[in-house]
Structure 1
Amino acid sequence: MKTIIAAALILGAASAAAGAAEPPKVVGTWKSNGDMAAARFGKGPFFDPAKPTLYKDENVISYRIELQQGRAFAGVVVGSGGKEAALAGVFQADGRSFIFSDAFGSGFGSVADGVIELCWTDSLPDYVSAACGSFKPVPAP
């Protein structure tokens, strides 16, 4: 009986390890392809709308991923005027979906066909926002 249980545990662990997909390499700069929508209000780190404001098709945010080890990655989000904020994220076991956090809030996304699609929220004392966008890699010089 103990042998059967041990064998089942070993097979289960092997199956779980085999099920983890390799995440795509995301190191580099990712710029908005213009497919973005956002709602913002208050004085924020990158924006300062005086009233609740809705945006569509922006190109003002980019991401620079500087380090990746397996499923974990880190870098900066770059806003208007070149302002930067630290970013950390991790891919889920499917190797496609991820979560991330930055100095202002957090979000989630996925990578498919060379495009990052992500949504995020910012929640600061004087500023709130929600946004979703698509980002493509900038070719290395």
Structure 2
Amino acid sequence: MNTTTAPAPEAAATRPAGCDVLIADDSGQCRDILRALLRTFTEGLTVREARNGQEALAVWQTSRPRVTFLDIDMPEMDGLATLVQIRQQQPDAFVAIVSGRSSTDNVRAALTNGASGFVVKPYKPQRILDVLERYQKLSGQTIVKLPR
């Protein structure tokens, strides 16, 4: 389990050895699909995974990923509660919420709680690239070489 963060310039220099991307989703198939999509964009991308919000928070705390994808509906701690916990520890963390339900309420709740983006399942490669491009623009750091 990992969460995405966009560290501040001074934080980036001191960021512990961790990972590039954290994927937190209770569906192994959804984690596999997102991981495969991410790896098509670049070789050597370090991806950590979690099956629920509590695992995601634990992985995030030890690895401080640059980008985190949190499923909104997970057992033990949902994506929104996990997002709030991450934001309390690092207000500028880059965290995208993912969901199979794109209701206005879900999108509003994600953005109100500080999500850096909202991605609807099933995943579309361009939407994942959009999230990574936004991270790169906000952080000034390169995570993948974007095809644009």
* Shared fold, TM over 0.5: no
Compare the two structures and name the one with the higher strand fraction.
Answer: 1
Whose radius of gyration is greater, 1 or 2?
Answer: 1
Q: TM-score, normalised by structure 2?
A: 0.27
Compare the two structures and name the one with the higher helix fraction.
Answer: 2
Q: TM-score, normalised by structure 1?
A: 0.28
